[in-house]
Structures are given as C-alpha cells and as structure tokens.
C-alpha cells in the first residue's frame, strides 16, 4: 500500500507536500499536533516550577543523582572494602566525631555492616545501581510497549486482537509474581531482574499508547494526511507517535518509581542483584535478621529506596498535572 | 445486563487459556532437570528415564500440554517434589492464611483510606489535606519488606514491655494448637472442612477458642498493617480526587441550593458517585496485595501462598510453582471480573449503555 503511494510522479509529491503544509498550519492552531510540541513542553516546564510536589521530587532526585555521579568522591571508602584491618568489628554502631564519638576510633557515620564494610559508602554506591537499573527497565519496557501499542492501535484487526490478548495475559499476573517467575527462568542477576521487570510492565505502556493511537487516528489532521496519500508509516512516525508521547512520559516517570521498588524487592528475595554488589534491597536482606540488634543497617537502606521512589512519584505527579491537568489531581 | 455479563465472562476465557499456556511454558523453561531436582543424588540415568516416562516428560510438548489441561480440569495440580503431597492439599493448608492476611489488609486499607480521602477531599488544601497527601505519598513509596521489618523492631523490641507490644512473627503463640471446628462438631473431614478450618481467626471464633483467637489476632496486626499501607495510600488518594471531581458538579450545587444539610450532600449525594472509581481501585489492589503477600509472609514467617511459592521457586519445586502461580493468576482474573460486575451494579449508566 505504502509502496504504491511512493511510486507517484515527483511533481505530484511536491504538490501534495505543499497542500499538506497548508493543512497542517491551519490545523495546528486548534489542535495539539506535532508542530506545537515545543510550546506544550515550555508550558509544562513553567507549570512544573509552580508545583510544589514536583519541586520536592526534583530536589530529592537531584540529591540522588549527585550521590550517584560523585559516589567515589562522596563515599569515604570503596563499597566492597573490608575494613577489619582498621580495627572495626562487624555491625559496629555509627561513629561521628562531631557528635562526640571517640576521636581515636575511625569515623563511620552510619556504622559498619556485617562483613566489616563502611555502610555509608555502600549506600552511596547503591544509588548508582538503583537509578541505572530502574531507568534501564523502564526504557526497555517503553520501547517494546510503544512499538506494540502503535502497531496494535494503528493496524487494528487481528494484529490488535492477538497483541492485546497477550498483554491481557501478562496483566493478569500480579506484577511481582510474574517478575519472580521470569527471573526464575532466566536465572538471578541484575540484567535478568531488569529484563523481568521490563517484561512485566510492557503491557501498561502498550495499552496507553494504543488508546492514544485510537483517538489520534480519528483526528482530522490524520484524515487529511491520509487523503493526501501520505504513507501509513509516515503517518505513524510523524503524526501519531509524537502525540502519544505526553501520556507515555508521565507513565514512564511513575514507572521508574515502581521499577525501583520491584528491583529492590527482587534483590531482597535474593533474585536480583547479587552480593557483594552494593544494592539497597540486597543490603537490607543481608541484615534483616539483625533488625533487632542493629536496626540502623535495615533502616537506612529502606530509607534510600523510599527516597528514590518518592522522588519519581512526586515528579511524575507534577508532570502529569503540568502536561494535562485533566488526568488527575 | 445479562448480555454484558455474558460478554465479559466470555472475554476472560482466552485470558485464562493464555495464563494456562504461560504457566506451563514458564514451568518448562525453568533451568534444570525436574528429575534431578526431585531425586537429587539418587538420580541416575536409568532412574531418570523411568521417572520421565512415568510423569510423561518424554512425550511431545503438545501431548504434555494436553495432559496438563486434562489434569487441571479434573482438579489435579500434581504432587509437590519437596513435600510429597498433592499440590491441592498444600493449597488447602496455605491459601487461608493468605486470604486472611490480604482480607485484613484490605479491610484496614478501606476503613482508614476512604475516610481520610473524604476528609482531605472535602477540606481541600487544608492542613489535614496536605498532611494526608504527604502521608499517602510516603505510604506509596515505602517498600513493604522494609516497613515490615521496621514494624517488627518498633513493636517487638522498642515497645517490648509496654501494652503496645506485638508478636513479630508467626501465626500463633508457640505451643498453641487450635482445634479444628470439624473435630469439635464431629463433622466429616474433607477438603472443604479442612480448608475452612485453616482460617484460624474464623475457626477460633466459631468454636469459642478465645485464647487462640486473641493470639491469632495479635499476630495478624503487624503483617496486615505492613501489607495495607500501599493500598491504603492509593485508596485515600483516589477517594480524594474522585470526591473533588464530584463536588464540583451541578447536582451537588442543586442539592446545596435546596437546603440539604452539608452532611447529607457530601455523604449521601457526592460519596455515592465518588466511590465508583474507588471500587475499581480496591479491586485492582488485590494484585498488589498478592505480590506484597510474598514479601510480607517471608518477613513475618507466615506459611501462606506467597511464602510457599517463594520457597518452591528457590528449591525448584516445579509442580508447586506451576500450581500456585496458576491459582493466583486465575483468582486475580476472577476478582477483576467480580469488580467489573460490581461496578455495573453500582453504576446504572454502565448498565444502560
């Protein structure tokens, strides 16, 4: 079909291009078409700055980003260095010189973990794993979800039916359960945990992209394109895809929060990141039996997970309100 | 209405078939040989051949799938490699613990989340509203395993010698053995009575075993609160935003204009419509509860579906993994179906259209 359209003589092409530009200019005034995306984002940026929750979210995430990027500078010790030579014992309590800790004992502001490593340094390095893993999982899921949603919504018919039934099946499992099952098949580890979480979340993105496509497909500027003989792939790539981005970006930001939680959960269960890699979930799991004697070793790792999740949730909520106030309050 | 129900029911059939196929495929894809996993060091080549022959593992994959479907249709989920008992027996023992836990968590989530949502929606932008929303944001962000461990520390160590102290793990005090109701009432022992008697709280209540009841109740508080936090926060947020939407509608202005008491306007007129999306959210949080149950049961050492499933995965007990995953996924589909039906019942607009 599309090949047939491209075989038209060049002068016709030019003519139709010209008409198409006119049509687009006419339509762009009233509708949010691809040509107004820059304006939308500028408005959204202004709105976000006005939202307190988004600012708090951004602030929380900035701290984490700084920790992750400058980890070697901020952390006083390498994350996996065992410090028994320096006279520390497993699970030594925090020692801060400024707060009256004996200046002769080495300073470890959050104490020592069960294997004699500086707990603070491990927490700092943990931010790298948490951020990278969550971003990777969401990017993978967004890529495949968008592709499936676009194809499904645009082509309809049996393509849509088959793809959406597969998505329904994936959605009918509680997400953590399915992620556990997938990791069991793939084997534990960081990459496999990322893949598992991505696979589990693909349906959410596929569904939201599909529903955007279904509504955009019927818009006048798409009909105009179709009438002008623009190829299906060009319509998909240049008219429909840009307009699905708004809800997708909001969902993806909130999705990073979920991914952070699920990666930590998988690692906590021993199926995700493996020791000695400093990851908050597995650090928490390693010390969970010591919660009654050394609760700080459990407390701070969980606090970091919460910090990260909270940051992305607040930012996602703020983005949603800024881009489309109708979507939620 | 009847046509809608039928259509909705039929549309869940392909999903259930898909779940069956996916669970079957996942169980076959788990690395490792089921014979060696089951028999360990005793597994020689000859024994494994016989084993594979006996369990049909040498058949072509479509034959295996056919047998698997036939077995499930007759209620046979296979036998646990690790415990040597039928998977259905394990389900009878373990499912009630999870239902009790998830039920208690959902109860807490609703009775706390809905009123909080109403107050903060009604007093929009007040201090209560801001505090509730900050609390809800923090609640959604808390990892359930961390919250569980922290609750254990606070209530079992920090408040140890106070009246607020609570047991940190297990289902009952050590040494306490509940008498099942069928024994007390001389009823026949079958799958159903055994299943019902595993609901410890209910069993103790109907047979007046107060010591067992109070122990089970106290043991349930911490895991239920830990599991309830995320759904509670979601329910509160949803109630608030939905009530805010409804309060801005014309019919509410009419209700106020004709002089109805504010209480009646909010609780009778507004709330009835505002609760519709909340019902959906409550239904959807069922999946969240089941996922959370894996973590909560592991932390609080409760032998429910979640912990059994996790133990089965780590010890490669394939039949249990397959059976339990299937039951969880199918019950999730059924709950979603029920939520849809409830929604239709509650909202006349859906019924008419």
pLDDT tens-digit series, residues B333-342: 888 888 888 8
Report whether B305 contacts B330 (CB < 8 A). Answer: no
Length, in residues, of chain A: 329
Q: Do A182 and B26 touch (CB under 8 A)?
A: yes
B255-277: average pLDDT: 89
Of A172, A299, A314, the CB nearest to B15: A172
State the Cα–Cα distance between residues B222 and A119, nearest whole angstrom.
28
Provide the chain B residues 123-142 that lie in CB contact (below 8 A) with chain A.
137-138, 140-142
Instruction: Encode chain A (329 residues) as per-residue pLDDT tens digits.
Output: 344 444 444 444 444 444 444 333 333 333 444 444 556 677 777 777 777 888 999 999 999 999 999 999 999 999 999 988 888 888 888 988 888 888 888 889 999 999 899 999 999 999 999 999 999 999 999 999 999 999 999 888 899 989 998 998 898 888 888 898 898 889 889 999 999 999 999 999 999 999 889 888 888 988 899 899 999 889 888 888 888 888 898 899 999 999 999 999 999 999 999 988 999 999 999 999 888 899 999 999 999 999 999 999 999 888 888 776 554 44
pLDDT for A180: 87
* Domain range summary for chain B, segments of one domain joined by +: 97-307
Q: Do A168 and B321 touch (CB under 8 A)?
A: no
Report whether A309 contacts A261 (CB < 8 A). Answer: yes
State the fold for domain B97-307: MetI-like fold (1.10.3720)
Sign of CA dihedral B191, B195, B196, B198: positive
pLDDT for A89: 85
Non-local (6+) Cβ contacts of B242 within 8 A are B117, B121, B274, B275, B276, B277, B278
Strand partners, A118: A112
pLDDT for A12: 43
Q: Which of A52, A57, A172 to mutate to test the interface with B (most CBs of B within 10 A)?
A: A172
State the Cα–Cα distance between residues B60 and B346, nearest whole angstrom.
49
pLDDT for A177: 86
- Which residue, A43, A120, A139, is CA-closest to A79? A120
Provide the chain B residues 7-46 that lie in CB contact (below 8 A) with chain A.
14-15, 18-19, 22, 26, 29-31
Whole-complex ipTM: 0.87
Binding-site residues on chain A for chain B (CB distance < 8 A): 53, 165-166, 168-170, 172-177, 180-182, 184-185, 187, 257, 261, 264-265, 268-270, 281, 284, 288, 291-292, 295, 298-299, 301-302, 305-306, 309-310, 313-314, 328-329
CA atoms within 13 A on the CB side of A202: 23
Q: Which of A53, A54, A174, A321 to mutate to test the interface with B (most CBs of B within 10 A)?
A: A174
pLDDT for B348: 73
Phi, then psi, of A88 in degrees rounded to 5: -95, 160
pLDDT for B334: 85
Q: Taking CA atoms, what residue in A is nearest to B32?
A: A185
Q: How far is A94 from chain B (nearest CA, A)?
A: 18
State the Cα–Cα distance between residues A312 and A323, nearest whole angstrom.
16
**Could you tell me the CA-to-CA distances from B296 to A217, A272, B170, B231, B290 in Å, in that order?**
45, 18, 11, 14, 10
Burial letters for A250-274: b for 16+ Cβ neighbours within 10 Å, e otherwise?
bbbbbbbbbbbbbbbbbbbbbbbbe
């Amino acid at each position: 079909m599309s090949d047939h359209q491209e075989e038209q003589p060049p002068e016709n092409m030019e003519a139709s291009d010209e008409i198409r530009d006119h049509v687009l200019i006419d339509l762009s005034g009233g509708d949010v078409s691809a040509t107004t995306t820059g304006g939308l984002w500028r408005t959204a940026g202004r709105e976000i700055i006005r939202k307190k929750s988004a600012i708090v979210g951004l602030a929380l995430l900035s701290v984490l980003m700084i920790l992750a990027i400058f980890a070697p500078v901020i952390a006083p010790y390498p994350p996996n260095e065992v410090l028994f030579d320096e006279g520390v014992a497993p699970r030594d309590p925090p020692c801060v010189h400024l707060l009256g800790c004996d200046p002769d004992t080495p300073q470890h502001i959050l104490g020592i973990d069960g294997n004699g490593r500086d707990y603070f340094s491990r927490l700092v390095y943990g931010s790298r794993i948490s951020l990278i893993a969550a971003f990777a999982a969401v990017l993978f899921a967004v890529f495949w979800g968008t592709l499936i949603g676009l194809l499904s919504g645009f082509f309809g018919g049996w393509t849509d039916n088959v793809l959406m039934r597969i998505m329904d099946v994936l959605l009918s499992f509680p997400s953590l359960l399915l992620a556990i099952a997938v990791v069991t098949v793939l084997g534990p580890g960081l990459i496999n945990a990322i893949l598992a979480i991505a696979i589990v979340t693909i349906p959410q993105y596929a569904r939201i992209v599909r529903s955007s496509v279904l509504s955009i497909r019927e818009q006048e500027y798409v009909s105009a394109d179709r009438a002008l003989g623009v190829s299906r792939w060009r319509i998909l790539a240049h008219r429909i895809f840009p307009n699905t981005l708004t809800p997708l970006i909001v969902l993806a930001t909130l999705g990073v929060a979920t991914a952070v939680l699920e990666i930590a959960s998988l690692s906590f269960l021993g199926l995700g990141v493996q020791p000695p890699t400093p990851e908050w979930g597995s650090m928490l799991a390693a010390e969970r039996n010591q919660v009654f004697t050394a609760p700080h070793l459990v407390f701070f790792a969980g606090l970091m997970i919460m910090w990260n999740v909270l940051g992305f949730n607040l930012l996602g909520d703020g983005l949603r309100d800024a881009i489309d106030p109708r979507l939620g309050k | 209405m009847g046509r809608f129900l039928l259509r909705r029911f039929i549309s869940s059939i392909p999903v259930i078939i898909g779940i069956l196929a996916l669970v079957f495929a996942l169980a076959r894809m788990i690395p490792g040989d089921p014979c060696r996993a089951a028999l360990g060091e005793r597994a020689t080549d000859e024994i494994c051949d016989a084993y594979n022959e006996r369990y049909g593992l040498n058949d072509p994959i479509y034959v295996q799938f056919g047998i698997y479907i036939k077995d499930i249709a007759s209620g046979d989920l296979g036998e646990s490699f690790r415990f040597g008992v039928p998977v259905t027996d394990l389900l009878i023992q373990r499912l009630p613990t999870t239902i009790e836990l998830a039920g208690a968590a959902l109860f807490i989530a609703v009775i706390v989340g809905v009123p909080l949502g109403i107050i903060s929606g009604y007093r929009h932008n007040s201090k209560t509203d801001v505090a509730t929303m900050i609390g809800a944001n923090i609640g959604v962000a808390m990892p359930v395993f961390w919250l569980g461990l922290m609750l254990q520390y606070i209530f079992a160590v920090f408040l140890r010698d106070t009246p607020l102290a609570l047991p940190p793990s297990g289902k009952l005090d050590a040494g306490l053995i509940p008498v099942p109701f069928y024994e007390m009432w001389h009823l026949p022992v079958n799958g159903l009575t055994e299943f019902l008697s595993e609901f410890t709280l209910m069993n103790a209540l109907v047979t007046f075993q107060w010591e067992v009841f109070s122990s089970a109740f106290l043991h349930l508080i911490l895991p239920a609160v830990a599991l309830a936090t995320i759904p509670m926060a979601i329910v509160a947020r949803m109630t608030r935003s939905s009530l805010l939407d409804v309060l801005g509608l014309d019919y509410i202005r009419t209700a106020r204009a004709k002089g109805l008491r504010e209480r009646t306007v909010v609780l009778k007129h507004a709330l009835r419509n505002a609760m519709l999306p909340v019902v959906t959210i409550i239904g959807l949080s069922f999946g969240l509860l089941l996922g959370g149950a894996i973590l909560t049961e592991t932390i609080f050492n409760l032998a429910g579906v979640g912990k059994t499933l996790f133990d089965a995965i780590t010890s490669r007990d394939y039949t249990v993994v397959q059976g339990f995953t299937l039951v969880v996924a199918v019950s999730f589909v059924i709950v979603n179906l029920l939520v849809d039906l409830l929604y239709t019942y509650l909202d006349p607009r859906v019924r008419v259209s």
